[in-house]
Amino acid sequence: MKKNLIVITNEKFYNDENFFYCEHVAEKTIHDGLINDFDVKIVGRKSKTKGHHKLENKNIKSYSSLIPYLYEIYKKILNTDTKFLILAISPYTFFASLLFIFSSKKPIVYLRSDGHQEYRSILGFYGPIIYGAMFNIVSLNCIFISCRKYILRQKFGYTVYPSELTDTWKKNIIKPNLEKIKLLYVGRMKVEKGIFSLIDLIKEAKNDINLTIVGEDSPQRKKLYHEKINFLPTKNNTNDLINCYDEHNIFILPSFTEGHPMVLLESLARRRPVIIFEDISHVAQNKKGVFVAKRNLKSLNETILFIKNNYLKIYEEMKLNNLPTKDQFLISFRDIISKIQ
């Protein structure tokens, strides 16, 4: 008999004829990846717009406001034969975690990014203080899983290596056209992702560099229009996303904070070099094909020129990367949840 698992998340879900959709593929991967081993029920927030990713799991309760969200979680805590998994620390999930203070249960909290840095990029000086207070309170009565040890701030926790890579990513890899530098960014249009600072650099550049941004539509796009910048919608199909990587020759990840960026793995899987900035230099580790630049035009241009002049050598070196896969991640994640009492 499957063990009951309640997943508490800040993600928003859209209900369309009893099928649920969410915006982020990492969220879908966890929910759908656990249903074979656990009886998974999800408590999240309600969305007014249809996300890009359809979930297999239909056992989802979503709410538009905090009080009914918390009441639903409170009712489930009363069930003694249940494990609880909280995805990230946000205001909603923080208040949910407080409900466990009066319970004998310890929830599992999965941290996919460094909230201290993420809140700093959004709220400035006060961001890390606010997140730090939530983090320290949550840590008193939980068991952590994280994608990086440093995110745990010396608290005890397990480590996993998230990935969306399947066998499809390894097939039919082609060398890029190097006649023109074509940069690619895949991700959200958020301040903490550094995309706006990157757009400013591209607009300032006088050389022949183009940037393609793949992600959710946003009203900001019209304001950001520039002849060097091309916007494409989110790619729900894996082959369509792979084609985006293949049609460009350098991937760029301008984030101010990242834990374990899956787009970096995707780019390396297609043997496209990656440029990151110093803020997230830790994600490079020992991976071949990742280059760190300063967040200014001079350094960015120098890094691009180096990659261009050494592209064939870099392309061959990237074959040596040992990249984590989606299956490996889910097996590790399920094993950790299963052994936590």
pLDDT band at 293 (very low <50, low <70, confident <90, very high): very high
Q: Are residues 21 and 136 in the same domain?
A: yes
Is the predicted pLDDT of residue 106 greater than 70, yes or no? Answer: yes
Residue 220's pLDDT is 66
Instruction: Provide the CA 192 distance to its chain's centre, in angstroms.
Output: 12
Average pLDDT (96-120) is: 91
| First-last CA distance in the chain | 17
**Segment 233-276, tens digit of pLDDT:** 888 889 999 999 999 999 999 999 888 899 999 999 999 999 99
Q: What are phi and psi of 81, to 5 degrees?
A: -95, 60
85 beta partners: 7, 108
Confidence of residue 103 (pLDDT cuts 50, 70, 90): confident
Are 213 and 153 found together in one domain? Answer: no
| Cα distance between residue 139 and residue 313, in whole Å | 46
Q: Assign 205 a pLDDT band (cuts: 50, 70, 90).
A: confident
271 in helix, strand or coil? Answer: coil
Mean pLDDT of 212-236: 80
Q: Are residues 242 and 225 in the same domain?
A: yes
Q: Which residues contact 181 (CB under 8 A, 6 or more apart)?
A: 207, 208, 209, 210, 249, 250, 304, 308
| Alpha helices, DSSP H, located in the chain | 25-34, 66-77, 91-98, 115-123, 126-139, 195-204, 220-223, 238-246, 262-269, 297-309, 311-317, 326-339
Helical (H) or strand (E) element with 70 = helix 66-77
Same domain, 10 and 94: yes
**pLDDT score of 291 more than 90:** yes
72 in Cβ contact with 61 (< 8 Å): yes
Mean pLDDT on 271-287? 94
- Report the phi/psi class of residue 281: left, alpha or beta, with left for phi > 0 and alpha for psi in -120 to 50: alpha
Round the average pLDDT of the chain to a whole number and report it.
92
- Using the predicted structure, report yes or no on whether residue 341 has a pLDDT greater than 80: no
Given a cut of 70, whether residue 224 has pLDDT beyond it is yes
Cβ contacts of residue 102 below 8 Å, gap of 6+? Answer: none
- Is residue 155 domain-shared with residue 192, that is, in the same domain? no
Residue 215: is its pLDDT beyond 70? yes
What CA–CA distance (Å, rounded) separates 50 from 53? 9
Same domain, 116 and 17: yes
| CATH number where 237 lies | 3.40.50.2000
* Residue 100 shares a structural domain with residue 194: no
Q: Are 275 and 252 within 8 A, CB to CB?
A: yes
Could you tell me the maximum CA-CA distance found in the chain, to the nearest angstrom? 64
Q: Work out the number of other CB atoms within 10 angstroms of the CB of residue 340.
A: 14
pLDDT in tens, 44-81: 999 999 988 999 999 999 999 999 999 999 999 987 68
Nearest-Å Rg of the Cα atoms of the chain is 21
Segment 305-321 mean pLDDT = 96
CB-count exposure of residue 174 (10 Å: 0-12, 13-18, 19+): exposed
In angstroms, the CA 335 to CA 206 distance is 52
Which residue range forms the structural domain that includes residue 291?
167-320
> Contact 304/202 with Cβ under 8 angstroms?
no
Q: Are residues 142 and 185 in the same domain?
A: no
Q: Do 26 and 86 have their domain in common?
A: yes
Strands 53-54 and 19-22: antiparallel
pLDDT at 257: 86
- Spatial distance between the Cα atoms of 314 and 318, rounded to a whole number of angstroms: 6
Is residue 163 over pLDDT 90? yes
Strands (E), the chain: 3-16, 19-22, 38-46, 53-54, 60-63, 82-87, 108-111, 143-146, 157-159, 181-186, 209-214, 229-232, 250-253, 274-277, 290-293
> What is the rounded distance in angstroms from the CA atom of residue 134 to the CA atom of residue 138?
6
| pLDDT, mean of residues 75-101 | 92
How many structural domains compose the chain?
Answer: 2
Token match 């261009």: residue? Answer: 308
213 and 171: one domain? yes
Could you tell me if 72 and 92 lie in one domain?
Answer: yes
Same domain, 137 and 178: no
Helix 195-204 to helix 297-309 angle (10° resolution) is 80
Is the pLDDT at 308 greater than 90, yes or no?
A: yes
pLDDT, residue 162, reads 94
pLDDT at site 44: 97
For 252: left if phi > 0, alpha if psi spans -120 to 50, otherwise beta; the answer is beta
